[in-house]
Structure 1
């Protein structure tokens, strides 16, 4: 047992002696006093030991059970994997496989391959060869980031506790007695600030369920219910996201009595919102952190002048590089799950500068745009000011190489008129300098995870939105006043139609030949046999397992003129990593032999498809790789979901047996919009390379499907290549 864990347990033991009747945990229905807490933790530790599980998912709603199981896992040295409630079924499957989980505490275990055990709370599964973890991993916190596939951040047991020690020291002068957890405890920020810190201070952690706090689903929030919870628990402290603060201030401009500190973080906070909240007595302090640094790094201390996101906490070292990027050391992650260990310092991807000892954020490196007049603008700053107006629910701001910024605006209610929206935008502009103001705007339907314009945890999918609304965002409003714009410009077009449409037209014959494959037409009608479906999955495994290596090779060989594509490849790699394991899971669920499928030789067409694309990357124009993307994702969006439905209906397959098809049928819709935006920036030899590769891959992919229904695919393959 390490020192920090021992310190926490020692504090709990001390509180049990000194204040045995003080409530430690309170969910509004039941309380556990400090005198009872060590026994409750010990009882759950015994149940964990009896099952002998090592990597445990914690998939419960906020409440006493979440806290007790988490503390038992921490004390017993098991790997704890909190599961956000907003994760989709596909994301949960990925989490189970990527982390090699052998136990699940909470609902939904059966659909993920876990079986009931003698202890009804702990569902178990056998894991013959669990994936390697970074040495010392005690917690894996998953974040979806900008893509649909969650990324695992491996932390040791000590890093979150060191952060909690720093926070407890920072707020000690406030003599906090009650904290109300407004965020899910699966969120690392609330786990540390809403559970560890109160327990270190001998205070009460209020842990009502999400519904009692006003949460509906992953993003819906009723501030009236939340204010009722505040009235019932009378907390001294809260942790809020900016959108929660905005909703509460709109509902109650005057702060509830008793609040001593409201820490706000997770995203940039509009200056006007902070001012309005403080005018109403909300004791708001802004902070900064990230999961890779075990949550909180900087905080404006209560009682100090508020500047930026505050001073670094005692455990953290922060430096700002010459290019403005923020680097962090101290309580950082061990590394991402499945990737190399972290070196000494972590590059945050955030930009900032110092104001004395206080850190001021300047936006995300990947999101900041440069206007035609050379001004750097963080779109989240402007979007925050727009969304601080009650009339505006969501906004995306764009101004790269433009003389005037533009915004996509989602009204708070569909029936809101344009005059009200315009007034709200004018009010936001009044709080902004001229170079950051919005000059042109367009109202849009809501950005949601279902239309792939929002991540599961509520962040904008900027690349998808830019692709979907590209024509409007980039159309010229006026002739530029500068001889050449600052920042990247769109290439000159050589075709009468946009490049993506040219790609579609140039490959029409090959695409039609693929889609006419008998296996595909029968799959849509539910006429494919189980052996044929298993054979398809086997071939899919043998090309999908090469997808990420091919992407990496492509990124390494791209010429500098196409360097901008590397960030897109990073997005694809994050999304595609590990999908071959999904296929093996589908084979098992469909009654096949996954190990035999993985060990088998791929069909000639499958092997040639991978080899051809590899040859294009290594000996031709590497951008041709995106021709393979066109084929695989275009085919998925066209038929995958319908084929999965037909297979399930005809073969009686469980959901677990068609996860590869169903996930790609929906995910690739968003990918294809993103892909269209990329292709529309290509021209000349680069566009030609994508077209040539797509034509060949359509033929080889079609031959693969035809080979599945024929014992000898040699003649089909020869015909396909004529």
Structure 2
């Protein structure tokens, strides 16, 4: 049996477990509903969950976990082509959406499904696709539950009294890192539909609506991303009941942490990966060092090899169609200080991680831009920022760059779209902006641009 379900059964049956809008589900009722949903999962090979945040999402997810049915969360922010790719490659046999559970017809799929999942796969989470094609990460139930208990152990139960899910449940920070530890601790989870708290589109949030909800419900803990935190600071959000705000998904500037705390927001930075089922390290009220990402959770083994952070954990079984090795190379550069805190110092590759926590390959976006007749050269940037920006070289003097960008954005999901651009001189080897074989000197170009912007 699932250890999380065992923990849930040990809590007083009448205590409130899940609250969404006017609906409240007690721990006792939740167990009964999970058992009911498990009956619907008989014969299901793998289940895609495509629902807005709410009680039903959590019930189906826990029913799948208990019945050892691989669960495939579908994020709403994925492009239709990305969703089609997920459905095909994950071998989804059934989907649950607002209309209930239904079988997926083979003709609805682009290709034959991948049947050979790693043994023990409980959840297949898809990254936001650095190249535009989401990559399926297979996670084990044992590893997922070990992580959930590890997070709960690192925090006192008082910090999980009234936890609100303000990130999509389809991402691991909202689901495994937020929901599971709170249920283990016996807290109450508030899961409003995202539209009810101003987050239907996370890229254009209604921060006053979000703040109003958190205050009205006397929320004590949330998990958020840097961009949302910046937004809350910008409106001087007052959250007197808040005891713990974990922020992750992208690098957080120490200045942002300091400003948040000065404003009365109890913010603690963490670090995680899909390949670790979400959290790797976390600052907490008991162990906190601003500027670090916290202490590594006790179940994770970590080493620094040539400056790169490598981890070993029981959760990661491999990517779809691949097996995992003993050690996972994160691509992040960092070190562990003398007090045992992990620090992130940079990224080994060019991947842009926006402040919304979305991973974007610049080459992917640039190739989309270069497909437009009016654009001859382009470099995109925006690591740690809320939007992706572009430096553009027109292909001719009369090129309509604005229209070219709009056309390119049509084929990109919103998190990868170009929101601002600037015209620039052609890149060339003689100017030092191209290599001898014609590749842009990305780091040099971006560094120069950021210097100009700072003047």
- TM category (shorter chain) comes to 0.7 to 0.9
Query: Are residues 1:302 and 2:316 paired?
Result: no
Distance 2:24 2:402 in 1: 44
Among 80, 100, 107, the residue aligned to 1:89: 80
Conservation of the 8 A alpha-carbon contact between 2:159 and 2:244 = no
Question: Which residue does the alignment assign to 1:351?
Answer: 333
Q: Following the alignment from structure 2 to structure 1, what is the Cα–Cα distance between the partners of residues 218 and 424?
A: 48
Q: 1:295 to 1:459 in 2, by over 3 A?
A: farther
Structure 2 residue 413 is matched with structure 1 residue 456 = yes
Q: 1:29 to 1:347 in 2, by over 3 A?
A: same
More strand by share: 2
Q: Is the 8 A contact 1:171 1:301 kept in 2?
A: yes
Write the deviation string for residues 121-148 of structure 1: whole angstroms up to 9, x where unpaired: 1110355964221121111001123221
Contact 2:142 2:315 in 1 (8 A): no
Shift of 1:28: 2.2
- Residue 256 of structure 1 corresponds to 239
Alignment of 1:88-167 (within 5 A): 88-107=79-98, 121-126=100-105, 130-131=113-114, 132-167=116-151
Secondary structure of the equivalent of 2:211?
A: helix
Match of 1:36 in 2: 29
Alpha-carbon contact 2:177-2:278 (below 8 Å) kept: no
**CA–CA separation in structure 2 for the residues paired with 1:328 and 1:260:** 30
1:334 to 282, 294, 317: 317
Structure number with greater CO (CA < 8 Å, separation at least 6) is 2
- Shift in Å, 1:447: 12
- Aligned counterpart, 1:9: 5
* Residues 1:281 and 2:264 are matched in the alignment: yes
Q: Conserved in 1, the CA contact under 8 Å of 2:79 and 2:412?
A: no
Instruction: Identify which of 179, 185, 207 aligns with 1:195.
Output: 179
**CA distance in 2 between partners of 1:55 and 1:445 (Å):** 43
C-alpha separation in 1, matches of 2:49 and 2:89 = 15
Aligned partners of 1:57 and 1:104 also within 8 Å: yes
Q: Secondary structure at the match of 2:153?
A: helix
Aligned to 1:621: none
Give the CA deviation at 1:470. 7.1
What TM-score comes out, normalization by structure 2 length? 0.79
Q: Which of the residues 70, 80, 101 maps onto 1:79?
A: 70
**Distance across 2 between alignment mates of 1:476 and 1:408:** 26
Tell me how far apart the structure 1 counterparts of residues 187 and 434 of structure 2 sit (CA, whole Å): 56
Once the two structures are superposed, the pairs formed by residues 204-283 of structure 1 within 5 Å of their partners are: 204-217=188-201, 219-253=203-237, 255-283=238-266
The question of whether the paired residues in 2 share the 8 Å contact of 1:146 and 1:460 is answered with: no
Contact persistence 2:409–2:417 (CA under 8 A): no
Counterpart for residue 184 of structure 1: 168
CA distance in 1 between counterparts of 2:54 and 2:5 reads 20
Matches of 1:258 and 1:22, distance apart in 2: 20
| Counterpart Cα distance in 2 of 1:268 and 1:170 | 21
Indicate how the Cα distance of structure 1 residues 236 and 64 shifts in structure 2: closer, same or farther if over 3 A, else same: same
Structure 2 unmatched ranges of 5 or more: 356-365, 367-379, 388-400, 442-455
Question: Which secondary structure does the structure 2 equivalent of 1:267 belong to?
Answer: coil
Q: Please give the per-residue CA displacement for 1:338-370, whole angstroms capped at 9, x wherever unaligned.
A: 22x1110100011112222111111211139xx
Q: What CA distance in whole angstroms lies between the structure 2 residues aligned with 1:470 and 1:267?
A: 29
In 2, the alpha carbon distance for the partners of 1:445 and 1:454 equals: 15
Alpha-carbon contact 1:349-1:365 (below 8 Å) kept = yes
Counterpart CA distance in 1 for 2:28 and 2:68 is 23
Distance 1:30 1:360 in 2: 42
Partners in 1 of 2:336 and 2:403 — Cα distance? 37
> What is the CA distance between 1:36 and its match in structure 2?
1.1
Name the CA distance, whole Å, in 2 between partners of 1:471 and 1:139. 48
The structure-2 alpha-carbon separation of the partners of 1:448 and 1:216, relative to structure 1 and needing over 3 Å to count, comes to farther
Give the Å deviation of 1:238. Answer: 0.6
Equivalent in the alignment of 1:363: 346
Quote the Cα distance in structure 2 between the aligned partners of 1:177 and 1:446: 50
Contact kept? 2:144, 2:315, Cα under 8 Å? no
Deviations 1:484-542 (A, max 9, x none): x8xx96228xxxxxx8xxxxxxxxxxxxxxxxxxxxxxxxxxxxxxxxxxxxxxxxxxx
TM-score (norm 1): 0.51
Retained in 2: the 8 A contact 1:100–1:130?
yes
Partners of 2:268 and 2:410 in 1: CA distance = 30
Shift of 1:475: 9.4
Alignment root-mean-square deviation, CA = 3.6
- How many residues align? The count is 398
| Structure (1 or 2) with the greater helix fraction | 1
Q: CA deviation at 1:89?
A: 1.4
1:448–1:455 CA contact under 8 A, matched in 2: no
**Is the partner of 1:285 in helix, strand or coil?**
strand
Distance in 2 (alpha carbons) for counterparts of 1:295 and 1:277: 23
- Cα shift at 1:453: 10
Task: Map Cα deviations across residues 434-459 of structure 1 (whole Å, 9 max, x no partner).
Answer: xxxxxxxxxx9799997359963725
- The SS at the match of 1:154 is strand
Written as runs of structure 1 = structure 2, the 5 A alignment for 1:373-384 is none
Q: Name the CA distance, whole Å, in 1 between partners of 2:434 and 2:219.
A: 52
> In the aligned structure 1, how far is the partner of 2:267 from the partner of 2:48?
33
In structure 1, runs of 5+ residues without a counterpart are 108-119, 369-378, 385-395, 397-405, 414-443, 478-484, 493-498, 500-561, 566-722
Q: Aligned residue for 1:56? A: 47
